[in-house]
């Protein structure tokens, strides 16, 4: 891809998270990085470019590319112009497939922010083999979904001996608000739980299991946990799925690997309240009129203020053990605003890593740990996201 016009193209730069990602690149991309903005609204792209020029005057010369998911030719031209395409245009189940298709065909690396399991599985069925042939690295979930967990578990595994059975519990705790785009994607996920589960089963059947190794997810039960900092509840997001896919692909995770994923809910009464609210939301999302009303509550493009983001934080802790009575290690990944500030940082650094760093020669649909692993972790540590060992 040495002859590509741009190192990186940001598709969706006029949206809330896309604009933050572009601003991060304006402040932090290495000298000599060539990048551009893409979207369907030329006037809004101009406005984004003007704001970026206030950050870095060189951004006044950024190229603006017309790109619309309903226009295959524009998708092809965008993909063929770049080494890496960043897309923040969601919900991905509605708008993501044309971008993945164009990148897989062009041999262009791809990163997104999706937390939508069904979308990821659909893209694996549709484009994984073509991406392997073209050399494209299709890397989903390069934000708070799922980098702290995927790279955090990989970091934890690296603290343990090789060739031993490993069990890890992950505990997520965060304080932050969410944008309209995230809200819309969440309702889409909840409304498609059955079709998503069927597709996941089909993918597991087709992928099979790693030879001579066992990798499994353990659901766990709600319980108080002192290390986590309160009552914890199993949290069936895309994050444990991503972790387990990395474990299946990488022998370093050992001959027998298991992972349990929890959210920290705080006191028991709060846990009960959150469970009831989640149950009602899931039920309403299955009913089309109710789902339409839910979708109208928060529009795409809305997001928290800079002051709100400055007060936000996340902490993910991992408790690992070798076998039943062997070595134990506890680690932590922590940072600032999980939904937007640090998510845009993770996404932009993922694209920079794919564009510039010396990485394993792999292609197809890959997890962040498999595609980039320690190289991306070093970038994130330099950017202020902390990976640390707490104790043994």
**Claim to verify: residue 131 and residue 202 sit in the same structural domain:** no
**Claim to verify: residue 131 and residue 16 sit in the same structural domain:** yes
With a CB cutoff of 8 Å and minimum separation 6, the contacts of 249 are: 210, 366, 367, 370
Tell me if 38 sits within 8 A of 78, measured CB to CB.
yes
Q: Is the preceding peptide bond at 48 cis, omega within 30 degrees of 0?
A: no
CATH number of residue 63's parent domain: 3.40.50.720
**Claim to verify: residue 31 and residue 165 sit in the same structural domain:** no
pLDDT, tens only, 140-157: 999 999 999 999 999 999
Domain membership of residue 307 (yes or no) is: yes
Domain membership of residue 1 (yes or no) is: no
In this structure, what is the dihedral angle of CA atoms 137, 138, 139, 140, given to the nearest 10 degrees?
180
In the chain, the N- to C-terminal Cα span, in Å, equals 44
**Claim to verify: residue 223 and residue 244 sit in the same structural domain:** yes
User: Which residues span the domain enclosing 262?
Assistant: 147-337+386-391
Q: With H, G, I as helix, E, B as strand and everything else as coil, classify residue 306.
A: helix
**Claim to verify: residue 157 and residue 173 sit in the same structural domain:** yes
* pLDDT tens across the length of the chain (392 residues): 668 999 999 999 999 899 999 999 999 999 999 999 999 999 999 999 999 999 999 999 999 999 999 999 999 999 999 999 999 998 899 999 999 999 999 999 999 999 999 999 999 999 999 999 999 999 999 999 999 999 999 999 999 999 999 999 999 998 866 555 566 566 666 667 678 889 999 999 999 889 899 999 999 899 999 999 999 999 888 999 999 999 999 999 999 999 999 999 854 444 444 444 555 454 445 556 655 555 555 555 566 677 777 788 999 999 999 987 888 999 999 999 887 889 999 999 999 999 999 999 999 999 999 999 999 999 999 999 999 999 75
Residue 153 pLDDT: 98
Residue 291 pLDDT: 55
Domain membership of residue 129 (yes or no) is: yes
Taking phi first (over 0 means left), then psi (-120 to 50 degrees means alpha), and beta for anything else, what does residue 317 get? beta
Domain membership of residue 248 (yes or no) is: yes
Residue 9 pLDDT: 98
**Claim to verify: residue 47 and residue 154 sit in the same structural domain:** no
Residue 143: which of 347, 371, 368, 369 has the closest Cα? 347
Distance, in Å, from the CA atom of 25 to the CA atom of 348, rounded to the nearest integer, reads: 6
**Claim to verify: residue 109 and residue 231 sit in the same structural domain:** no
Distance, in Å, from the CA atom of 350 to the CA atom of 377, rounded to the nearest integer, reads: 10
**Claim to verify: residue 138 and residue 85 sit in the same structural domain:** yes
Distance, in Å, from the CA atom of 167 to the CA atom of 324, rounded to the nearest integer, reads: 9
Q: What is the DSSP letter of 30?
A: P
**Claim to verify: residue 83 and residue 134 sit in the same structural domain:** yes
Tell me if 370 sits within 8 A of 250, measured CB to CB.
yes
pLDDT, tens only, 184-241: 566 666 667 678 889 999 999 999 889 899 999 999 899 999 999 999 999 888 999 9
Q: Does the model's pTM come out above 0.75?
A: yes
Q: With H, G, I as helix, E, B as strand and everything else as coil, classify residue 114.
A: coil
Q: With H, G, I as helix, E, B as strand and everything else as coil, classify residue 303.
A: coil
Distance, in Å, from the CA atom of 330 to the CA atom of 229, rounded to the nearest integer, reads: 14
**What's the total number of domains in the chain?**
2
**Claim to verify: residue 117 and residue 224 sit in the same structural domain:** no
Domain membership of residue 82 (yes or no) is: yes
Q: How far is CA 54 from CA 49, 60, 65, in A?
A: 9, 9, 20
Distance, in Å, from the CA atom of 16 to the CA atom of 93, rounded to the nearest integer, reads: 18
């Amino acid at each position: 891809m040495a002859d590509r016009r741009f190192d990186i193209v940001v598709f969706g730069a006029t949206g809330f998270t896309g604009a933050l990602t572009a601003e991060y690149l304006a402040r932090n991309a290495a000298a000599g990085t060539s990048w551009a903005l893409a979207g369907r609204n030329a006037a809004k792209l101009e406005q984004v470019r003007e704001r970026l020029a206030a950050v870095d005057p060189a951004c006044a010369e950024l190229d603006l590319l017309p790109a619309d998911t309903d226009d295959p030719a524009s998708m092809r031209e965008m993909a063929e112009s770049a080494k890496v395409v960043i897309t923040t245009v969601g919900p991905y189940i509605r708008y993501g497939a044309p971008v993945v298709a164009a990148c897989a065909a062009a041999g262009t690396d791809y990163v997104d922010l999706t937390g939508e399991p069904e979308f990821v599985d659909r893209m694996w069925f549709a484009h994984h083999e073509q991406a392997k042939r073209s050399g494209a690295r299709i890397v989903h979930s390069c934000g708070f979904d799922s980098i702290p967990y995927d790279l955090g578990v990989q970091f934890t595994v690296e603290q343990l001996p090789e060739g031993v059975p490993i069990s890890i519990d992950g505990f997520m705790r965060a304080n932050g608000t969410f944008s309209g785009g995230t809200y819309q994607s969440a309702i889409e996920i909840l409304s498609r739980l059955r079709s998503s589960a069927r597709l996941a089963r089909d993918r597991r059947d087709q992928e099979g299991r790693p030879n001579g190794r066992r990798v499994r997810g353990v659901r766990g039960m709600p319980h108080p946990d002192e290390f986590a900092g309160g009552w914890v509840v199993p949290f069936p997001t895309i994050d444990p799925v991503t972790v387990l896919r990395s474990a299946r692909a990488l022998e370093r995770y050992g001959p027998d690997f298991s992972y349990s994923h929890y959210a920290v809910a705080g006191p028991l009464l709060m846990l009960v309240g959150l469970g009831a609210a989640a149950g009602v939301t899931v039920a309403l999302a299955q009913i089309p009129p109710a789902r339409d009303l839910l979708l109208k509550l928060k529009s795409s493009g809305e997001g928290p203020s800079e002051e709100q983001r400055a007060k936000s934080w996340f902490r993910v802790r991992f408790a690992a053990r070798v076998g039943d009575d062997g070595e134990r290690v506890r680690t932590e990944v922590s940072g600032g605003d999980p939904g937007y500030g640090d998510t845009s940082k993770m996404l932009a650094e993922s694209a920079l890593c794919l564009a510039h760093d010396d990485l394993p020669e792999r292609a197809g649909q890959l997890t962040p740990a498999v595609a980039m692993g320690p190289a991306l972790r070093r970038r994130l540590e330099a950017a202020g996201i902390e990976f640390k060992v707490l104790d043994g």
